[in-house]
Amino acid sequence: MAVPSLSLILLFSLLTPTLVYSSSIQDPEPVVQEVHRSINASRRNLGYLSCGTGNPMDDCWRCDPNWEKNRQRLADCAIGFGKNAIGGRDGKIYVVTDSGDDNPVNPKPGTLRHAVIQDEPLWIIFARDMVIQLKEELIMNSFKTIDGRGASVHIAGGPCITIQFVTNIIIHGLHIHDCKQGGNAMAITISNNYMTHHDKVMLLGHSDSFVKDKSMQVTIAFNHFGEGLVQRMPRCRHGYFHVVNNDYTHWEMYAIGGSAAPTINSQGNRFLAPDNRFSKEVTKHEVAPQSEWRNWNWRSEGDLLLNGAYFTPSGAGASSSYAKASSLGARPSSLVGSITMAAGALNCKKGSRC
C-alpha cells in the first residue's frame, strides 16, 4: 500500500512496548467507537484477571499464557490512528541471533538490519537478550514488526531507527535510548512507553515548511513521561495530535509544544508540574507571536493539573474542530496511574502471563 510520506522524528529515550502506524484515518469516529468497546471490555475483566489493567492494548494479549506461540495476535491489539497497521503479521517469523552491525551496506543474515530491509512481511523476534549499537540509522522496509517480548533488547549508543516512505510498521517491547534521529509516517500511535532522561523527547513533523504533514494524525496514549525529561513530550508540527491518558510526572521546560498551527487535543492526562515556578506551564506555542498562535486549536479536556500546572488553550472551543484529532475515548484522569502502571518494556516469560 503506497501512501504519501510524512515525518515522525523519534528523538527520545524510551522503554517502548508499541509504536505502530499505517495510512491516515479519514473518519475517526469508527476508531473512537472501537476503542470504547475495547476499554469497556478490558475494564470488565479487572475483577477477574490479575493481569487486567484497563489498558486495552495490554489486556488484549498479556493475560494469555501462550502469548509467545501467538505473537502475531499483537497486530490486532493496536489503538488510535495507527490501529490499522498490521506490521509483519502475514509473514514469517525472523529470529535475530546476531547483535552486530558491522556492515550496514551489506548486512549479515541474522542481524536486525538484515531483517528490516527484506522486501517480504516479517515478524522479527530475538533469540536472547542483546544490546545493538547501530553504526548507521536503521532504515526499515514496509510490513515489519520488531517484537522484543521475551528478551531484553536495547538499541542504544548510536543512531537508532528511521521510518520514512514506508507503511505498516509495529515496534514493540524494545529499550531505545540515546538516539540521534528518526523517520517519517502518516497515521501513528505511540503508546505504553516509559520515557526518562532526555532533553528533546519527541519531535513530530519534518519542518514548519513541510506542508504535507498537515494530514498527519498521531495518537499518544498510555505513556509515562518520567524523571529527567526536559521538553517536547511531544512537540508537534502541522497535523492532528490526540494526547490522551498519559502520566506526566516530570518536565523542566514544558510538556507539550507545537509550531505551524497543529491541532492538539489533550484529554484525561495527569500533569504534575515541577517545583520551579517558571516551568509550571504544560504548553509552549513555538515560533509564533500570540496574534498568530491564538488561532491554533489546542484544548485541555478532563486533564488533572497538579502542583500549579496550567494548560494554555487557544483557537476554537467547538468539539467539531477536534474531529480529526480524536482517536479514542479518554478515560478519567483519576485512572491514569493504573492505566500507565506497566508502561515500558515488560519482563515477559515464555509460557506464562506477561
Return the active site residues.
232
Task: Measure the CA–CA gap between 83 and 188, rounded to whole angstroms.
Answer: 8
Whether the CA torsion 41, 300, 31, 24 is positive or negative: it is: negative
Q: What is the DSSP letter of 260?
A: S
Residue 105: exposed, middle, or buried by beta-carbon count in 10 A (0-12, 13-18, 19+)?
Answer: exposed
* Strand ranges across the sheet with 283-285: 183-184, 7-10, 202-204, 235-237, 256-259, 283-285
Look at strands 183-184 and 7-10 and give their pairing. Answer: antiparallel
Q: Which helix (H) or strand (E) holds 264?
A: strand 263-267
User: Residue holding cell 517480548?
Assistant: 149
Task: Measure the CA–CA gap between 173 and 176, rounded to whole angstroms.
Answer: 9
Are 32 and 329 in contact by the 8 Å Cβ rule? The answer is yes
Among candidates 244, 232, 234, which has minimal Cα distance to 269? 244
Task: Measure the CA–CA gap between 177 and 296, rounded to whole angstroms.
Answer: 32
Look at strands 138-139 and 229-231 and give their pairing. Answer: unpaired
Q: Which helix (H) or strand (E) holds 339?
A: helix 336-339
